Amino acid sequence: MIKIAIDYYPEHWDRSLWEDDVRAMAELGCYAVRVGEFAWSRMEPAEGVYDFGWLDDAVELIARYGMKVILGTPTNCAPLWLYTEHPDTVQCERDGQRTHLGIRGHRCQTSPTFRAYAEKIVRKMAERYAGRPEVLAWQIDNEVESNHCTCPSCQERFQKYCKDKHGTLEQLNRDWGTVVWSGEYSDWSQIECFNTAWVNKSDWFNPAYMLEYERFCSETTAEYVAFQAALIREYDPAATITTNACFGLHVQDFYKEFAPLDVASYDNYPPLEIPEDANEVYSNAFALDMVRGWKNKNFWIMEQLGGPMGCWMPTTRAMEPGMLEGYALQAVAHGADLLSFFRWRTAATGAEMYCFGLLDHDNKPNRRLKELELLQHRLAKIEGLEDTTVEAQVALVFSPDQSYNFANQAQSRGFDYWRQERLFHDTLMGLGVNVDVVSDAEPLDPARHKLVIVPAYAVTSDAFAEKLEAYVRSGGHAVLTARSGAKDANGNCTVGEYLPGKFARMAGCRVLESDAIGEAVQTLRDSNGNVHNIGVWCDLLELDGARAIAEYDQRYYAGMPAACRNAYGEGSCSYVGTIGDKSFHRALLVSELRLAGIDFIENLPAGVESSTRAGGGREYRFFFNNTMKNHTFFYQGKRVTLQPLEVKISTSDGAWL
């Protein structure tokens, strides 16, 4: 059965409440309880003085009620004695100054002093708990974000990273094009972490340097997580280890971060307010499919929305009826096998005092707990769901490099790499098509994915271009979009060839010129004569073997191709030189799916998404109404009605669950 767990902070609550809490969780049918991830000051109240008595009691109580624990290493929040006695453990901000204490996540991930103390506390925990039958898994730290600390330790590491990668300063100067503005380095010590002390605009900086810096930040974070995982494995080589990812301000390469871990996990906080504008892309399904892609298998949710988010003032709207269940089942639909709800009790003290958990301050039964109970009953009835997974014939390539690249150089107002990824994903969800969000480092195989979508692939290595070309040549269908091939692997512009550069032959077109139209809205006409809104960017294309599938409708380039498709080898490559609205994406993807021979559902109402889990001879198709309206449609001859946020599941033998 899909497992339900609870995030719990026993150290926040009077002991007299513990047993009632744990009993109630057990009565709800919970499988596990996550504890510990912020409790370092209680585990080591003074240097070298360890107190695990309270945690022992909590673990014992949870086990007594038949549940397991997920133990968080507490390194996100070092105790104040550590920070004040060893200021070099505190991360530095963009201005180079140590951060102010008093919130959380102040630790510098690379500081040797911090690492030494982190190692001690993780070892102490592992010595005590690793390998015990009550321990289901370990969570490393909490929502570790890409390390953007600018302290001397990080600076030194960045210099070493550059030396290891570029070898000599001459090479690095060439790779980054530092001759511009006399930026040539004559000593490794001149290479600094990105520091905005004097200017708050990153696009004044050399983009090749910025790209490298982001890669470095991502790698140090992956190394920090791997360091903790290795410690735990010394005590229990068979431990199940994860870390709870989130998409924060700085996003690292999660594919790399999760490589040494056992299961991907994610903190799932979908929107509490659902936009009415039909053109908004808000579905959370993209994030969920991406999480599954980190390890190419089912995943866990370490924090699942369990109440209104009040900690980040002002407080949010209450959860709509059906929302707790709907969002939970949406996660399951995309491959979640365990959902740990955030959090049991609504905080009463501390920064998150209005961050609602399942239980309100009044400690009385409520609507959310009731809904969780219903969810639990519903899941219990779906036989074999835990033995299924999401099998997709469409891959959406996600590239950390492009994410870094466009965050620094948006190209045009509104040019947002993530939004472009999500537009494709959203459209496929509305067509009932499963999608794998795969790393660009993964092999591409037409036998696995018949269609591969590659939005805005600017920073291009020879290896990726060759891989994509081989995929198409051997029968795959690819979609590339504007800016693809614009840069080399160092992040410098491609010189001496038409874009899409390394992809031009396969795409059968040339970009003659581009118009960064930003927020202006223009139109194009697709090959069926339908008109769609476009924005942000327009490549003016000349065909070189490809066939136009859309033409601009306006301006001096009216009549020029905006998108085209080229038969290449056994497959095809489409190039889309602009960014269309949802209707454009739908028309484009319907024709791509037909070409690739992939089944889809044509009549889902806008905002209803559908995907499947299959395995062991069973298939479950989930329909999720991601809107606040009622919707009705027909599926396999049956009339299906969905309330707002409702999920219905149809099985391969014709039943509805």
Name the burial class of residue 276, with classes exposed (0-12), middle (13-18) and buried (19+) by CB atoms within 10 angstroms of its CB: exposed
**Toward ligand GAL, which CB reaches closer, 346 or 522?**
346
Residue whose CB is nearest to ligand GAL in the complex, by number: 143
Site string for ligand GAL, 222-261 (x = CB under 6 A): ------------------------x---------------
Separation CA 247–CA 245 (nearest Å)? 7
Which residue type sits at 206?
Answer: N
Separation CA 202–CA 29 (nearest Å)? 50
Q: Which of residues 113-142 bind ligand GAL (CB under 6 A)?
A: 142
Is 184 among the catalytic positions?
no
**Toward ligand GAL, which CB reaches closer, 147 or 304?**
304
Residues 26 and 52 sit within 8 Å (Cβ to Cβ): no
Choice from 1, 26, 28, 309 touching ligand GAL (CB under 6 A): 309
Spatial neighbors of 572 by CB under 8 A, at least 6 apart, are 472, 477, 478, 565, 566, 595
Residues 343 and 305 sit within 8 Å (Cβ to Cβ): no
**Toward ligand GAL, which CB reaches closer, 342 or 568?**
342
**Toward ligand GAL, which CB reaches closer, 257 or 303?**
303
The answer, yes or no, to whether the previous bond of 500 is cis (omega within 30 of 0) is yes
Separation CA 397–CA 415 (nearest Å)? 18
Least distance in angstroms from the C-beta of 355 to ligand GAL: 5
Size of the site for ligand GAL (CB under 6 A): 10
Strand residues in 284-383 grouped as ranges (E): 299-305, 336-342
Residues 611 and 390 sit within 8 Å (Cβ to Cβ): yes
DSSP 8-class letter at 90: B
**Toward ligand GAL, which CB reaches closer, 144 or 540?**
144
CA-based nearest residue to 421, from 404, 399, 440 = 399
Q: Which of residues 259-288 bind ligand GAL (CB under 6 A)?
A: 267
**Toward ligand GAL, which CB reaches closer, 34 or 215?**
34
Q: Which of residues 589-618 bind ligand GAL (CB under 6 A)?
A: none
Q: For residue 625, give the 3-state DSSP assignment.
A: strand
Looking at 37, 143, 214, 592, which residue is catalytic?
143
**Toward ligand GAL, which CB reaches closer, 135 or 355?**
355
Q: Token pair of 465, please?
A: 């271009």
Separation CA 544–CA 655 (nearest Å)? 51
Separation CA 224–CA 213 (nearest Å)? 17
**Toward ligand GAL, which CB reaches closer, 309 or 595?**
309
Least distance in angstroms from the C-beta of 336 to ligand GAL: 17
**Toward ligand GAL, which CB reaches closer, 328 or 507?**
328
Q: Token pair of 361, please?
A: 């301050």
Cα 69 to the center of its chain, rounded Å: 25
Is 19 among the catalytic positions?
no
Q: Which of residues 332-391 bind ligand GAL (CB under 6 A)?
A: 342, 352, 355
C-alpha distances (whole Å) from 627 to each of 6, 273, 279, 390, 450 are 27, 10, 13, 23, 30
Looking at 145, 214, 219, 303, which residue is catalytic?
303
Of 21-29, 160-168, 303-311, 410-418, the window that binds ligand GAL (rule: CB under 6 A) is 303-311
Phi and psi at 551, nearest 5°, equal -125, 145
Choice from 44, 257, 303, 416 touching ligand GAL (CB under 6 A): 303
C-alpha distances (whole Å) from 653 to each of 541, 593, 618, 648 are 49, 26, 8, 15
Least distance in angstroms from the C-beta of 363 to ligand GAL: 20
Spatial neighbors of 258 by CB under 8 A, at least 6 apart, are 242, 243, 245, 264, 294, 295
Choice from 17, 24, 28, 311 touching ligand GAL (CB under 6 A): 311
The answer, yes or no, to whether the previous bond of 618 is cis (omega within 30 of 0) is no
Phi and psi at 624, nearest 5°, equal -125, 125
Least distance in angstroms from the C-beta of 61 to ligand GAL: 22
Least distance in angstroms from the C-beta of 8 to ligand GAL: 12
Which residues here bind ligand GAL, judged by CB under 6 A? 142-143, 246, 267, 303, 309, 311, 342, 352, 355
- Give the active site residues: 143, 303
